Amino acid sequence: MVRLPDNIVGRHIETWSIQDVSIWLSSFGMDHYSKDFSLHGVDGSKLCEITEEDLENKYRVKKIAHRKKIRRKLRYLQATLHTKASYTRKSDLTTTKSELRHSESGMKLYVNGIDYSFGAICTFCQDSSSIAAFHCISCKDFLCEICDENVHKHIKRSHHKRARLSKFNPDQNGQTVTNFFRYLSCRKTLRLKARESFERFYNPNTKCHYYRNLQTNTIQWNKPICLGSEELAPFLTQETATIRLQGIFRCWIARNLIVKKINEQYFKIYDRFTGRYCYHYHGTNTASHTGHENRRKSKLVTQDTKWEKPTNLRCHDIPLLFTKDVATLRIQLFCRLVLAKKKAKLLARLRIQRIFDPITGSFLYQNLSNGVLSTKMPYILGSELWDPNNIRNWTVDQVKLYFRRFGFKKYGYIESVERYAIDGILLLAFEFVDYKSIGISKSIHIKKIMIDISRHKCSNEQCKHSDATLMKRDRLRRHHKMIAGTLVIQRLLRQRKAILIVKNIRKAMAMKKAREVNTKIRLKNLAWWPEVCKYRIDALADKKNFGKRIPFESVNGYGTYIGDQWQPIEHVKTSDDYKI
């Protein structure tokens, strides 16, 4: 590789000769193409207009990497050397103004937090003619386009994030930013002058706005181009915004009212002959009558029945009138849906084979048509089992559904199934006695269940029950025996308690009867008391004066008063009680 001499670098590309182009090709190792370029008379002016197709067909550059390298070097010349030469022509000094300005200010360029100089060479190939175009954060290298493609094509480095370096030098970037802010400032000034020079008016006939130029007194329908997407009055006032919001709200209310009126005056009917929906206008009710025959129709509606829905409904629609045809159609659609679903499930079970995977302990589903394996069951089956007739795969809920189909819900058998957690495996292990242990008392129900289970495929297979299933069945039997024994003990306790209660009742009745007999005898023996006693009979009724604090025999029996309450006292009568 040969370095470009200073007399070539300082001149414009279009002033290059054929020999200068050959020297430029030799500077980056492409001197073997210089003969083809010289034969076709490629000088500086033709070099600027060269394309990739010309390189491949005309100049016989067959390798893609070589074509890319020549095009990249050419772009670099147009971006850097041309700018450098133009600065040199403006000032006849050895250094350009930009280099002096950068050297004085010490300006640095940064990419990913690393400073670099404009036009840095590739740190990977370290070729002086290879200008860095990318910076890799992971590799921390400045790479040209060819090195970047070679380095990051490997799968280990394909995820590296690279930043593309700017093609423009700091002066060009600064000039671009300066031009942008000047453009914004000029556009703002131009729009202010346009708002001062124009006025906007509304034409009610055309329902459009027109603009009048105050300086030339001319009218135009199009707004000034400098305004862009803005208007002469870009910001709404509070009054204008309030009026618009009120108008939108009123339109919304009016629209809902129109939809409500249409729903009252129209019927949506299904026509079974054409399979379409028609809209029938039946009018509105009068103010005094509400019958169907006293409905008032508008004269503006010329056609009572039509196939198109009313225009004012737009996205809304009238509720369908539920007639016999609609009910029949829904029943038919539902039946067709059920049959189609049933057929689709049957086809899924025929076209897909279930395979047990001993490694994962789960089932795989293989499509027999294309051989695709899947770990998920076909979506069309939903929550159904792969083989509904295999009772061994039934859960507790499916056993409950099985009992419900027999009509055993009213007997309370379903609650027993849920209480004892009976699944399909345990149901197959049941015998006649086990059904009674879960509360199925009627023998005809047990025989009905056992006959139906014997019809399934799984019951015909001679399969042995696992030890866990048998232990669960035995535990259920022991539980039933414990419950039965508990019931016997409770029954005996209730009998004994009932006998004791009867004995106590009889004893209380006997005591009550004896008390009544004793009361009668006492009253009979006290009949002589008023005749013999010198005291008056009224004194016996005086509770406060007669026999107070001293036990005595009264109408209430033998006792005394404690305060104002009568307190009876047990007393055995002797001969002294009758002495006076």
pLDDT digits 0-9 by tens, 501-560: 999 999 999 988 988 888 888 777 654 444 444 444 444 444 444 444 567 766 677 777
Under 8 Å between Cβ of 226 and 190: yes
Eight-class DSSP state of 121: B
* Residues 224 and 347 reside in one and the same domain: no
Residue 27: pLDDT above 60? yes
Lowest mean pLDDT among 98-102, 354-358, 562-566: 98-102
* Confidence at residue 9, expressed as pLDDT on a 0 to 100 scale: 64
Read off the pLDDT band of 103 (50, 70, 90).
very low
* Confidence at residue 463, expressed as pLDDT on a 0 to 100 scale: 58
* Confidence at residue 541, expressed as pLDDT on a 0 to 100 scale: 44
* Confidence at residue 459, expressed as pLDDT on a 0 to 100 scale: 45
* Confidence at residue 255, expressed as pLDDT on a 0 to 100 scale: 92
Q: How many domains would you assign to the chain?
A: 6
Where residue 22 sits, what CATH number does that domain have? 1.10.150.50
Quote the mean pLDDT of the chain. 79
* Confidence at residue 381, expressed as pLDDT on a 0 to 100 scale: 87
In a domain, 504, yes or no: no
- The vertex-194 CA angle with 189 and 197, nearest 5°, equals 125
- Average pLDDT value for residue range 124-130: 77
Residue whose tokens read 């006293």: 294
Percentage of residues of the chain with pLDDT beyond 70: 82
* Residues 166 and 181 reside in one and the same domain: no
What is the residue-wise DSSP string for 263-292?
HHHEEEEEETTTTEEEEEE--EE-SS--SG
Read off the pLDDT band of 86 (50, 70, 90).
very low
Read off the pLDDT band of 236 (50, 70, 90).
low
In a domain, 514, yes or no: no
In a domain, 502, yes or no: no
Q: Report the run of H or E that residue 446 belongs to, with start and end.
A: helix 443-454
* Residues 11 and 66 reside in one and the same domain: yes
Higher pLDDT, 493 or 158: 493
Distance CA 573, CA 559 (A): 13
Where residue 396 sits, what CATH number does that domain have? 1.10.150
Residue whose tokens read 């056609």: 303
3-state DSSP of 391-443:
HHHCCHHHHHHHHHHCCCHHHCHHHHHHHHCCCHHHHHCCCHHHHHHCCCCCH
In this structure, which amino acid lies at residue 272? Answer: R
In a domain, 488, yes or no: no
* Residues 35 and 134 reside in one and the same domain: yes
The 3-state DSSP class for residue 248 equals helix
User: What are the Cα distances from residue 106, in Å, to 93, 102, 103?
Assistant: 20, 6, 5
Task: Extract long-range pairs of 413-418: CB within 8 Å, 24+ residues apart.
Answer: 413/438, 413/439, 413/440, 413/445, 416/440
Buried b (16+ CB within 10 A) or exposed e, 23-40: bbbbbbebeebbeebeee
* Confidence at residue 412, expressed as pLDDT on a 0 to 100 scale: 79
pLDDT digits 0-9 by tens, 458-478: 444 555 778 888 888 888 888
Beta-carbon neighbour count of residue 354 at 10 Å?
12
Lowest mean pLDDT among 170-184, 226-240, 503-517, 528-542: 528-542
* Confidence at residue 82, expressed as pLDDT on a 0 to 100 scale: 46
Beta-carbon neighbour count of residue 133 at 10 Å?
20
Residue 366: pLDDT above 70? yes
* Confidence at residue 107, expressed as pLDDT on a 0 to 100 scale: 58
Lowest mean pLDDT among 20-29, 265-274, 332-341, 488-497: 20-29
* Residues 68 and 152 reside in one and the same domain: yes
pLDDT digits 0-9 by tens, 34-72: 888 888 888 888 888 888 888 888 888 888 888 888 888
* Confidence at residue 10, expressed as pLDDT on a 0 to 100 scale: 62
* Confidence at residue 526, expressed as pLDDT on a 0 to 100 scale: 59
Read off the pLDDT band of 79 (50, 70, 90).
low
Higher pLDDT, 275 or 530: 275
* Residues 25 and 149 reside in one and the same domain: yes
* Residues 271 and 365 reside in one and the same domain: no
* Confidence at residue 144, expressed as pLDDT on a 0 to 100 scale: 86
Distance CA 16, CA 74 (A): 13
Domain boundary among 235, 255, 270: 235
Provide the CA 554 distance to its chain's centre, in angstroms: 92
* Residues 145 and 57 reside in one and the same domain: yes
* Residues 136 and 166 reside in one and the same domain: yes
Domain boundary among 200, 235, 270: 235
Phi, psi of 43, deg, nearest 5: -110, -165
Provide the domain limits for residue 102.
6-171
Under 8 Å between Cβ of 280 and 267: yes
Higher pLDDT, 74 or 255: 255
* Residues 417 and 356 reside in one and the same domain: no
In a domain, 428, yes or no: yes
- Closest residue by Cα to residue 284 from 306, 250, 261: 261
Residue 272: pLDDT above 90? no
pLDDT digits 0-9 by tens, 292-301: 456 777 777 7
Domain boundary among 418, 446, 465: 465
Phi, psi of 507, deg, nearest 5: -60, -40
For residue 372 the two structure tokens come to 């695709």
The 3-state DSSP class for residue 98 equals helix
Read off the pLDDT band of 189 (50, 70, 90).
very high
In a domain, 429, yes or no: yes
Burial of 292 (0-12, 13-18, 19+ CB in 10 A): exposed
In a domain, 386, yes or no: no
Distance CA 77, CA 73 (A): 6
- Closest residue by Cα to residue 223 from 236, 237, 204, 209: 209
Under 8 Å between Cβ of 560 and 567: yes
Read off the pLDDT band of 13 (50, 70, 90).
confident
* Residues 309 and 353 reside in one and the same domain: no
Higher pLDDT, 102 or 286: 286
Phi, psi of 62, deg, nearest 5: -80, -30
* Confidence at residue 134, expressed as pLDDT on a 0 to 100 scale: 86
Lowest mean pLDDT among 161-175, 265-279, 543-557: 543-557
What angle separates helix 97-105 from helix 170-197, to the nearest 10 degrees?
100
In a domain, 32, yes or no: yes
* Confidence at residue 495, expressed as pLDDT on a 0 to 100 scale: 94
Distance CA 311, CA 422 (A): 61
Under 8 Å between Cβ of 199 and 212: yes
- Average pLDDT value for residue range 426-448: 84
pLDDT digits 0-9 by tens, 389-403: 788 888 888 888 888
Read off the pLDDT band of 181 (50, 70, 90).
very high
Residue 154: pLDDT above 80? no
Distance CA 529, CA 536 (A): 10
* Residues 317 and 336 reside in one and the same domain: no
